[in-house]
Amino acid sequence: MPTLTKKQKQILDFVKVFIKKNGLSPTFEEIGRYTKKTFSTVHEHVEALITKGFLSKINNSSRGIQLIEQSEMVKIPLLGTIAAGQPIEAMQVKEVIAVAKNLLPRQGSFFALKVAGDSMIDENINDGDYVIIKQQSNAENGQKVVALIDNNEATLKKIYKEKNRVRLQPANKNLTPFIFNSSRVAVQGIVIDVIKNPTSHTNITFKEEKQVTSTDRAIYKFEDLKNILGKPYFETANCLIYNMDCINAMQKIKNSVIDLTVTSPPYNIGKEYESTIPVNEYVNWCKQWMNEIYRITNESGAFWLNLGYLEFPEKAKALPITYLLWDKSPFYLVQEVIWNYGAGVAAKKFLSPRNEKLLWYTKNPENYLFNLDDIRDKNVKYPNQKKNGKLRCNPLGKNPSDVWQIPKVTSGENRSSKERTEHPAQFPEALINRIILAASNKNDVVLDPFLGSGTTAITALKNERKMIGFEISENYCKIAKQRILALLESQKQNKLI
């Protein structure tokens, strides 16, 4: 039997329930609304289900998804109700339930339990569902198990063995784990599958299709953002800065409005503005805000992500964070750009790092903006060289390539950059200037969800773009505000002159 990921199983269960309830297949849009995933992500999972033999699809039909019958049905005992909440007794009831034969491994004893409670909802196990259990007395850390407590009460949880204790962990961020001495907990079996209960999905409804026109879509403008997000920390005619968490902020924006995102998140290396967390938690956090950026980006928009290095415990001293994040969003990766600089950390037991990475993403791999002429390098060795009477080089300059040599913003006595602020990890304006010129046009909306010292805002405003920034530190918001006010005053004086 082909194995399914948690998300593929969720989509397959939804399709089954939807067809049983409505008599026809769901559209990709309806699957996306239920799973809270983008069209491209839903398409990827459906294609995987087709490849694995669970679904088929009729081309040129929005409701062309079809279930493929997997195998004959077999009956296994339904022993009662299991708690996915507080431990309750698993009642012995003489009933049976029919399941597809290919859901079961070839060897072993199996039984089913009906789920009561919501402590396993993050594993797509809901109240009223049925879990198929393989009977066994041992389990690996992280497996979903039926655990018997004090030979009396049974519960459905993830199990973790910790020295002389056992932690029974809910899959619900709002609930706390149960911790017992090892002698009090006996594993009765592990979960091998979940059968969804159609009556537990009362929110699944068929929505009649209609032709969608441009007037049906809610299209946000920059001016709408203030009404959506509330009063900003600081604002100008073309700039909004919010002192708030970027994920919370972006979740309030329901439709696409951003043309270009340029940002550099915390690297999880212990800077003053961050607390280090386990690498897997860091990656999951990054996935959250990267997916939010994708959701609110216009169809022809772009995302430029600056990343450095982190230490991976027992694996790597200086692991490029790009290796961990490059495929963790629905964006299409155009290419990696190397930002090379002179100043940096000195080292004795390894090579001194002198580069960071820039990942250039687009939402649409075929339709995106790239203003090459605006960023051409005028430093051409032989600008007037000709071949067959024609200039060999573009008179505007050469392509700057995928290695950019741009100085860092340095600190220290007699070496501090003119644009230096109190922020410990500041973008150089020259770097952001090249990105903004290449990937946006005048009056486009630029986002920096980790605004920091405000370099993205400064550069966007200098190039006549509209700017929105989120920054969780009020002190950094203050720095950005001061820099923007100084820019506006300078522009005002230049106009007077």
- Whole-angstrom distance, CA of residue 454 vs CA of residue 478: 9
Catalytic (active-site) positions = 119, 157
Residue 161's closest CA among 141, 145, 180?
A: 141
Sorted by sequence, the CB contacts under 8 Å of residue 349 that are 6+ apart come out as none
